[in-house]
Amino acid sequence: MNRLSVYEQLKIDEGVVYEIYLDHLNYPTFGVGHLIKESDGEYGAPVGTKVSEERVSEAFESDLNVAIDECAVLYGDGFHCWPDEVQQILVNMMFNLGRPRLSKFKKMNGHLESSDYKNAAVEGRDSRWYRQVGNRAERLMTRLENVQECDVSVHDNESSGRCSWGD
């Protein structure tokens, strides 16, 4: 998956802030939507404390790894055989929603498993997330409905050109 592309997308969707601020739920945050945890050096620092570009990048890389790992947990090995575009869209959604909420997209996820990206996008649009998030959600669902097919070079079964699911 093109990590730089995901980073650029999330900078637009989440914003990037080089100081500690309170997010919409009043939690201390910095960078690309990085929620400050007790294990972070920034924990307990006041709002407005500057955060270096290097630290923002480090926190983002860690958060991106978590989002990718959570996608792999939710979708199994099939996640890594989907087209890069689909992986990027789902990582973006995971970053925004988290696994507990993304796992509730049962119909969308069912269509993803059968590589039916157009209907997956239809189901993604039929959600509270879509109605709440607006432009970001529409942009992601438009991208999803425009995905053509799996890239056979990353399939478990080269001859069929299909992703394998949970053998």
pLDDT tens digits for range 44-72? 999 999 999 999 999 999 999 999 999 99
- Is 58 contained in some domain? yes
- Is 161 contained in some domain? no
- Is 163 contained in some domain? no
- Is 160 contained in some domain? no
Question: In the predicted model, is pLDDT for residue 15 greater than 50?
Answer: yes
Q: How many domains does the chain have?
A: 1
- Is 165 contained in some domain? no
Please provide residue 29's backbone torsions phi and psi, each rounded to the nearest 5 degrees: -145, 160
Residue-level pLDDT at 25:
87
- Is 35 contained in some domain? yes
What is the rounded average pLDDT of the residues 141-150?
88
CATH number of the domain to which 22 belongs: 1.10.530.40
Exposure string for 124-153, b = 16+ CB within 10 A, e = fewer: bbebebbeebeebbebbbebbeebeebeee
pLDDT tens digits, residue range 81-127?
Answer: 999 999 999 999 999 999 999 999 999 999 999 999 999 999 999 99
Rounded to whole angstroms, how far apart are CA atoms 9 and 112?
Answer: 21
What is the rounded average pLDDT of the residues 153-159?
39
The pTM of the full predicted model, rounded to 2 decimals, is: 0.84
105, 133 contact by CB (below 8 A) = no
Alpha helix segments (H runs only) across the chain: 3-14, 53-75, 84-97, 99-102, 106-113, 117-125, 128-133, 135-145
Direct distance between the N- and C-terminal alpha carbons of the chain, in angstroms, rounded to an integer: 23
Lowest mean pLDDT among 5-14, 48-57, 89-98, 157-166: 157-166
> Which residue range(s) make up the domain with 69?
3-153
> pLDDT band at 149, cuts 50/70/90?
low
Q: Which amino acid is at 85?
A: E
Question: In the predicted model, is pLDDT for residue 162 greater than 60?
Answer: no
- Is 132 contained in some domain? yes
Q: Within a 10 A sphere around the Cβ of 55, how many other Cβ atoms?
A: 17
